[in-house]
Chain A
Amino acid sequence: MSQLNNDGRSSVSFILNGNPVTGYAEPRMLLTDFLREEMGLTEIHVGCEHGVCGACTIRMDGLPARACLTFAIQAEGHRIDTVQSLAQPSGVLSDLQLAFRKHHALQCGYCTPGILMSSSAFLEINHDPSEEEVRDMLSGHLCRCTGYVGMVRAILEVARNRISA
């Protein structure tokens, strides 16, 4: 049984956006803080630290997860993806990101990386969602700027385009 002590940091290794990484964390360090401070991934946005707003949502083994409700050590051996995983390595944005831009689905953009992670996971599970299903999925996020209209349009359009592609 692996055991980590509270006095001092222990090594944590996982696959981050496709690359193996190792860092050091105290057991209580939240994955949000670990990704931001130890891994330098400032796209992890912290909005509430109690799992409601969804700004910090990442994908853990492909499924959406609240990074603020996950301890960094729990990521050991798992696959963690952030919004950086969406665009092509050349920097070309994904269809989902482009649709968000087209439909003005973001304003301040603080909630956006989390919503993109949920939406990308959602579209892999549900290829042809209804508007109601998209809204149901989005209800796991709070956005205070947009009223969600652009997001709903963007996600539905991506689903349609992927089907016809």
Chain B
Amino acid sequence: MKPHSFEYLRPASIEETVACLARHSEDARIIAGGLSLVAMMNFRLVETKFLVDVANIKALNYIRVDADHIEVGAATTQAQLLAWPELASLSPLLAKGMPFIGHFQTRARGTVGGSIAHSDPSSELPLCLITLGGSVMLRSKAGSREVTAEDFQVGLMQTSRRPDEMVVAVRFPIRKKGAGYSFLEMAMRKGDLAICAVAAEVRDGSIRLGVGGVADKPAVREWKDLGDAALDEALNEFAWDLGGSDDVHATATFRRQLIRRLGRRAILEARECRN
């Protein structure tokens, strides 16, 4: 299990990186933590001509708060964000969801931007981002643009990022007033990718539920506040809409059941912890 050959590039800045991407386009892959990428390269599932290492670009490593967002530089590690003292108060959903990402060891290297760019349908960060209605900051030689999470991930490990663009930051909306949050996940073992993960944001008069691990990308549904029976119906509808598929670990039926049952648990829990 050894990777193919490639050329290694270590740009010193975002500008150098996007210049690099402009030149090599689809022949280049960005590496930051490398946790998903290198594993796939070792299996030779990924072959790339150029590997562009952005892990050491300081300008990609920051956590900033503005009026209503937490903006996280793409190369900020998951461990850095999780250890950020403001996290629990400004984003209870991230504080609850991020401990499910891999392990102590992988979060130390894995980056926030890497997870978003990789867009695994079972990953926690894309699920949190879409549930919160966040966005992704992209940069190319031509300029910058902001894409909503909804528009960013278009399918299975597929995003609307163009080959000459890089993810430079991820913007998570800060907690909404009066909202309660919950994140629940069923994985085969601690730290494994989700069989089904649910993220809930409950406010007076509204429920937002995101589901990961079932469809080709995380999906969100928003309802007006629902009574018990209506909630079950809504979750059932959502479950059938997403469908899901079978794999070696779990069936589609099981995944749909988890949407109904974990979804319900999460909504009730989020409702409880509204402030």
On whether A3 and B105 interact (CB within 8 A), knowing A51-B38, A70-B38, the answer reads no
B274 an interface residue at 8 Å Cβ cutoff? no
A23 an interface residue at 8 Å Cβ cutoff? no
On whether A27 and B51 interact (CB within 8 A), knowing A65-B109, A137-B104, the answer reads yes
A residues 109-130 with Cβ under 8 Å of B? 118, 121-122
Which A residues are CB-close (under 8 A) to B43?
50
On whether A139 and B191 interact (CB within 8 A), knowing A71-B8, A122-B104, the answer reads yes
B268 an interface residue at 8 Å Cβ cutoff? no
Complex: A28 Cα to B42 Cα, angstroms: 10
B20 an interface residue at 8 Å Cβ cutoff? yes
Is the CB–CB distance between A68 and B42 below 8 Å?
A: yes
B221 an interface residue at 8 Å Cβ cutoff? no
A26 an interface residue at 8 Å Cβ cutoff? yes
Chain B nearest Cβ from A138, distance in angstroms: 9
Complex: A63 Cα to B9 Cα, angstroms: 24
On whether A66 and B8 interact (CB within 8 A), knowing A49-B1, A50-B1, the answer reads no
Q: Which of B10-18, B117-125, B139-147, B172-180 contacts A (4 or more CB under 8 A)?
A: B10-18
State which of B7, B38, B109 has its C-beta within 8 Å of the C-beta of A27: B7
Per-position binary interface string of chain B over residues 32-47, scored 1 when its CB falls under 8 Å from any chain A CB and 0 otherwise: 0011001100110000
On whether A139 and B103 interact (CB within 8 A), knowing A1-B9, A3-B9, A28-B4, the answer reads yes
Is the CB–CB distance between A49 and B42 below 8 Å?
A: yes
A interface residues, tally (CB under 8 Å): 38
Interface residues on B, range: 35 or more
Which B residues are CB-close (under 8 A) to A136?
99, 103-104, 190
Is the CB–CB distance between A30 and B42 below 8 Å?
A: yes
State which of B7, B11, B106 has its C-beta within 8 Å of the C-beta of A140: B106
B5 an interface residue at 8 Å Cβ cutoff? yes
Which B residues are CB-close (under 8 A) to A28?
2-6
A residues 131-149 with Cβ under 8 Å of B? 136-137, 139-141
Which B residues are CB-close (under 8 A) to A63?
79, 108-109
B55 an interface residue at 8 Å Cβ cutoff? yes
Which A residues are CB-close (under 8 A) to B3?
28, 30
Complex: A73 Cα to B106 Cα, angstroms: 19
CB within 8 Å of B: which residues of A? Answer: 1-7, 26-28, 30, 33, 49-51, 54, 57, 60, 63-66, 68-71, 73-74, 76-77, 118, 121-122, 136-137, 139-141
A-B residue pairs, 7 tightest by C-beta: A140-B103, A27-B8, A140-B105, A63-B108, A139-B190, A50-B39, A69-B38
- Further pairs besides A1-B9, A28-B4, A33-B2: 14, Cβ < 8 Å: A2-B10, A3-B9, A3-B10, A4-B8, A27-B6, A27-B8, A30-B38, A60-B109, A63-B79, A65-B108, A66-B109, A71-B8, A73-B8, A139-B189
